[in-house]
Amino acid sequence: MLQGKIALVTGASAGIGRAVALKMASYGAVIGVADRDEALGLQTVQDIIKQGGEAIFVKVDGRVPEQVQSAVASIAEHFGGLHILSNNIGIQRYGNVAGTEVDVWDEVMEVNVRSTFLFSKYAVAHMQNKSASIINTSSVQAFSSQQGVAAYATSKGAIVSLTKSMALDHASEGIRVNCVCPGSVDTPMLRWAAEKFAPSVEEALINWGNKHPLGRVAKAEEVAEVIAFLASEKASFVTGAIIPVDGGLLVKLGVD
């Protein structure tokens, strides 16, 4: 499905990003793994190689323009171009607007939104007229929130708006831009949240899963499958789409 494609996957050391890197490699893409965590990023590369794929790792802080520009260029130069960008860098912080410290707000915006902007900014020049695709990872919390996630929800809403703007701006260059909005996904970040708010991680995953009509949380691989589809020519007439991957969470009212 992605044979011959060159993909840059951010946040690929863990969670959805790692699942995307492995999934795209399984479909034939060569992968540039971009992350701050060198040890886990290199593990993703090794796992891709073990399954018969090709990948390289680039250590990068997605908040720093010079590092992002260099990372994008090095991956494009190594493989001879760039067809796919999958933006997955993200953190979760808790608090309402009164209780969120300014530096925490800035941290969430820089990690979640600034990184998406920067990787996209520097990838576009390598993607023009190549039937390219950018897929941003947002969240259901861009549309329907909960208490105490002011910064996170805002950042995810910004990614949705950025996706739509980019889709319009770059359609004439042959670059499609779409967005996935997962519900609860079994990732290290979700388990970190479970440890903060529940006596048992597994119990929390079950309870949160039960709030989804499908009755469970998602596997990262299920989100990665949708991202891989959007990156492929099978989605050649899809741009500006905001796709929930949420087990029906957004269609369910909060009352029975």
User: Are 2 and 25 spatial neighbours (Cβ–Cβ below 8 Å)?
Assistant: no
Please say if 152 is a catalytic residue.
Answer: yes
Residues in the chain: 256
Give me the residues paired with residue 31 across strands: 7, 55
Which one of 27, 94, 122, 152 is the catalytic residue? 152
Cα–Cα distance, 36 to 22 (Å, whole number)? 18
Beta bridge partners, 58, equal 34
The answer to whether 29 and 82 are in contact (CB under 8 A) is no
Residue 230's nearest CA partner among 241, 218, 219, 221 is 241
Burial class (CB in 10 A: 0-12, 13-18, 19+), 163: buried
Please, are residues 150 and 97 in contact by the beta-carbon 8 Å criterion? yes
Burial group, residue 252, by CB count within 10 angstroms (0-12, 13-18, 19+): middle
Q: How far is CA 44 from the centre of its chain?
A: 16
User: Distances in Å between the alpha carbon of 63 and those of 4, 18, 67, 115, 147?
Assistant: 30, 19, 8, 5, 27
Annotated catalytic residues are 152
